């Protein structure tokens, strides 16, 4: 009887450790993603490394679509998903545009490119 009580406590401690480990891993991923998103968005705002910064943000937006909007489309249909996805869609299209064309003439990227080009 004493042995069963100890094995139950051991199993309970192992289960608590696994839950704590999963929770800690999820928290690390959340903090990493949020920090990375803020960093890449700041780079886009100042116009530095715009194309490089847009790519990870596209991956984040696709992941957000798959995890949050796809279940809405499956459960409630296309129009409910389209209503929920309109802002995310606009941001995704903007990021694709920035990935294709880069930043504008007022960005730090263009100033660096102008200073690196040899004048002919």
Q: Is 105 helix (H, G, I), strand (E, B) or coil?
A: coil
Provide the pLDDT for residue 3: 55
Please choose, from the candidates 112, 104, 118, the residue with its C-alpha nearest in 3D space to the C-alpha of residue 44: 104
Confidence of residue 102 (pLDDT cuts 50, 70, 90): confident
Rg (CA), the chain: 23
Q: On the CB side of 84, how many CA atoms lie within 13 Å of its CA?
A: 16
Average pLDDT value for the chain: 89
User: Using one digit for the tens of pLDDT, what is the confidence trace for 31-77?
Assistant: 999 999 999 999 999 999 999 999 999 999 999 999 999 999 999 99
**Domain chopping of the chain, boundaries:** 2-116
* pLDDT-wise least confident of 51-55, 66-70, 110-114, 115-119: 115-119
Which residues are CB-contacts of 107 (< 8 A; sequence separation ≥ 6)?
Answer: 46, 47, 48, 50
pTM over 0.85: no
Tell me the CB-side half-sphere exposure of residue 111, using CA atoms within 13 A. Answer: 6
């Amino acid at each position: 009887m004493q042995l069963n009580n100890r094995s139950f406590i051991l199993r309970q401690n192992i289960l608590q450790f696994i839950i704590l480990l999963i929770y800690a891993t999820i928290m690390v991923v959340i903090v990493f993603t949020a920090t990375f998103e803020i960093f890449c968005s700041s780079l886009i705002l100042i116009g530095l490394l715009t194309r490089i910064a847009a790519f990870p943000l596209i991956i984040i937006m696709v992941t957000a679509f798959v995890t949050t909007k796809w279940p809405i489309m499956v459960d409630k249909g296309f129009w409910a998903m389209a209503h929920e996805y309109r802002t995310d869609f606009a941001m995704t299209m903007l990021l694709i545009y920035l990935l294709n064309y880069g930043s504008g003439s007022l960005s730090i990227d263009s100033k660096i490119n102008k200073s690196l080009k040899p004048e002919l």
